[in-house]
Structure 1
Amino acid sequence: MPATTLTCRRIAMALRPLLLSALLAGCAALPSLEGRIASTVITETKHTQLGEALAPLAAQHPGVSGIYPLADGRDAFAARALLAAAAQRSLDVQYYIWHKDITGTLLFDALRQAAERGVRVRLLLDDNNTSGLDQTLAMLGKQKNIDIRLFNPLVPRSPRALAFMTDFSRVNRRMHNKSFTADNQATIVGGRNVGDEYFGAAGEVLFSDLDVLAIGPVVDDVSQQFDRYWNSASAYPAQLLLTKPVAGDAATIAAEADRIDDTKAAEEYMQALRTSPFVRQMMERTLPFEWAKTRMVSDDPAKVLDKARPGTGVAENLKNLLGVPKKEVDLISPYFVPGKAGTKAFADLAHKGVGVRILTNALEATDVAAVHAGYAKWRKPLLEAGVLLYESRRSWEVGDAREQPGRFGSSASSLHAKTFSVDDQRIFVGSFNFDPRSIELNTEMGLVIDSPALASQLGQAMRSTIPQRAYQVLLAPDGSLYWIARNANGTITRYDTEPGTSVWQRMGVAILSVLPIDWLL
Structure 2
Amino acid sequence: MAGSYRKVSRLDPLRALSRRAPPLLAALLLGACSLPPLAGRSESSALDLPAAQDTRLGRALAPAVAAHPGLSGIHLLQHPHDAFAARALLARAAERTLDVQYYIWRGDTTGTLLLGELLAAAERGVRVRLLLDDVGTSGLDTQLAALDAHPRIEVRLFNPFTLRRPKALGYLADLRRANRRMHNKSFTADNQASIVGGRNVGDEYFGATAGVLFADLDVLAVGPVAHDVSADFDRYWASASTYPAQAILPAVAPATMAELAQQAGALLASPGAHEYAQSIRRSAYIDQLLRRELPLHWAHVRMLSDDPAKGLGQAQRDDLLLPQLEAALGQPGRGVDLVSPYFVPTAAGAAALARLQRAGVRVRVLTNAFEATDVPAVHAGYARYRRPLLQSGVTLYEMRRLVPEQEQQPGRPALQRLGSSGSSLHAKTFAVDGERLFVGSLNFDPRSARLNTELGFLIDSPALARQLTQAFDTAVPAQSYQVALSEDGSLQWRSGVGEPPPVYGSEPHTTWWSRAVVRVLMWLPIEWLL
TM range (shorter): over 0.9
Q: Which residue is equivalent to 1:503? A: 512
Q: Give the letter for the 1:25 counterpart.
A: L
Q: Give the letter for the 1:507 counterpart.
A: A
What RMSD, in angstroms, separates the aligned Cα atoms of the two structures? 2.5
- Measured in 2, the distance between the counterparts of 1:279 and 1:182 equals 11
Deviation (angstroms), 1:267: 1.2
- Measured in 1, the distance between the counterparts of 2:70 and 2:517 equals 51
Q: Which residue is equivalent to 1:494? A: 503
- Measured in 2, the distance between the counterparts of 1:400 and 1:481 equals 26
1:291 aligned to which of 295, 298, 320: 298
Q: Which deviates further from its counterpart, 305-314 or 406-415?
A: 406-415
In the alignment of these two chains, the number of paired residues is 516
Q: Which residue is equivalent to 2:241? A: 234
Distance 1:202 1:401, change over 3 A: farther
Q: Which residue is equivalent to 2:5? A: none
Is contact 1:66–1:214 with CA below 8 Å preserved after alignment? yes
The answer to whether structure 1 residue 26 and structure 2 residue 30 are counterparts is yes
Q: Which deviates further from its counterpart, 214-223 or 256-265?
A: 256-265
Is contact 1:104–1:195 with CA below 8 Å preserved after alignment? yes
- Measured in 2, the distance between the counterparts of 1:283 and 1:48 equals 11
- TM-score by structure 2 length? 0.93
Distance 1:336 1:174, change over 3 A: same
Is contact 2:56–2:290 with CA below 8 Å preserved after alignment? no
Instruction: Tell me the secondary structure at the aligned position of residue 161 of structure 2.
Output: coil
- TM-score by structure 1 length? 0.94
The answer to whether structure 1 residue 251 and structure 2 residue 258 are counterparts is yes
Distance 1:315 1:12, change over 3 A: farther
Q: Which residue is equivalent to 1:36? A: 41
Instruction: Tell me the secondary structure at the aligned position of residue 389 of structure 1.
Output: strand
Deviation (angstroms), 1:310: 2.0
The answer to whether structure 1 residue 78 and structure 2 residue 82 are counterparts is no
2:522 aligned to which of 495, 513, 517: 513
After superposition, give the CA deviation of every residue in 1:24-71 in whole Å (9 maximum; x if it has no partner).
121231001111111111122111111111122111111100000111
2:53 aligned to which of 33, 36, 46: 46
Is contact 2:182–2:452 with CA below 8 Å preserved after alignment? yes
Instruction: Tell me the secondary structure at the aligned position of residue 399 of structure 1.
Output: helix
After superposition, give the CA deviation of every residue in 1:162-192 in whole Å (9 maximum; x if it has no partner).
1111111110000000000000000011100
Distance 1:12 1:425, change over 3 A: farther
Deviation (angstroms), 1:520: 0.1
After superposition, give the CA deviation of every residue in 1:129-163 in whole Å (9 maximum; x if it has no partner).
11211111011111120011001111222221111
Q: Give the letter for the 2:217 counterpart.
A: L
- Measured in 2, the distance between the counterparts of 1:210 and 1:12 equals 58
Distance 1:401 1:133, change over 3 A: farther
After superposition, give the CA deviation of every residue in 1:248-267 in whole Å (9 maximum; x if it has no partner).
33211111112212321211
Q: Give the letter for the 1:374 counterpart.
A: G
Instruction: Tell me the secondary structure at the aligned position of residue 344 of structure 2.
Output: coil
1:260 aligned to which of 248, 256, 267: 267
Is contact 2:193–2:221 with CA below 8 Å preserved after alignment? yes
- Measured in 1, the distance between the counterparts of 2:282 and 2:455 equals 32
After superposition, give the CA deviation of every residue in 1:489-517 in whole Å (9 maximum; x if it has no partner).
55311111100111111000000001110
Q: Give the letter for the 2:390 counterpart.
A: L
Is contact 1:437–1:520 with CA below 8 Å preserved after alignment? yes
Deviation (angstroms), 1:437: 0.2
Is contact 2:38–2:243 with CA below 8 Å preserved after alignment? yes
Q: Give the letter for the 1:505 counterpart.
A: S
Deviation (angstroms), 1:280: 6.4
Distance 1:473 1:295, change over 3 A: same
- Measured in 1, the distance between the counterparts of 2:340 and 2:10 equals 52
The answer to whether structure 1 residue 342 and structure 2 residue 349 are counterparts is yes
The answer to whether structure 1 residue 476 and structure 2 residue 486 are counterparts is yes
After superposition, give the CA deviation of every residue in 1:75-95 in whole Å (9 maximum; x if it has no partner).
111111111001011000000
Deviation (angstroms), 1:405: 7.7
Sequence identity of aligned pairs in percent?
55
Is contact 1:329–1:357 with CA below 8 Å preserved after alignment? yes
Instruction: Tell me the secondary structure at the aligned position of residue 429 of structure 1.
Output: strand
The answer to whether structure 1 residue 213 and structure 2 residue 220 are counterparts is yes
Q: Which deviates further from its counterpart, 289-298 or 194-203?
A: 194-203
Q: Which residue is equivalent to 2:131? A: 124
Is contact 2:446–2:527 with CA below 8 Å preserved after alignment? yes
Is contact 2:85–2:283 with CA below 8 Å preserved after alignment? no
Q: Give the letter for the 2:466 counterpart.
A: S
Q: Which residue is equivalent to 1:417? A: 427
Q: Which deviates further from its counterpart, 471-480 or 400-409?
A: 400-409
Is contact 2:236–2:308 with CA below 8 Å preserved after alignment? yes
Q: Give the letter for the 2:465 counterpart.
A: A
- Measured in 1, the distance between the counterparts of 2:410 and 2:252 equals 41
Q: Which residue is equivalent to 1:90? A: 97
- Measured in 2, the distance between the counterparts of 1:410 and 1:479 equals 30
- Measured in 2, the distance between the counterparts of 1:301 and 1:372 equals 28
Instruction: Tell me the secondary structure at the aligned position of residue 397 of structure 2.
Output: strand
Which runs of structure 2 are paired with 1:316-355 in the superposition (5 Å)? 316-355=323-362
- In structure 1, runs of 5+ residues without a counterpart are none
- Measured in 2, the distance between the counterparts of 1:67 and 1:17 equals 58
The answer to whether structure 1 residue 167 and structure 2 residue 174 are counterparts is yes
- Structure exhibiting the larger radius of gyration computed from Cα positions: 2
The answer to whether structure 1 residue 393 and structure 2 residue 400 are counterparts is yes
2:231 aligned to which of 215, 220, 224: 224
- Measured in 1, the distance between the counterparts of 2:377 and 2:16 equals 32
After superposition, give the CA deviation of every residue in 1:238-286 in whole Å (9 maximum; x if it has no partner).
0001111257332111111122123212113322443446566446542
- Measured in 2, the distance between the counterparts of 1:277 and 1:400 equals 26
Q: Which residue is equivalent to 2:146? A: 139
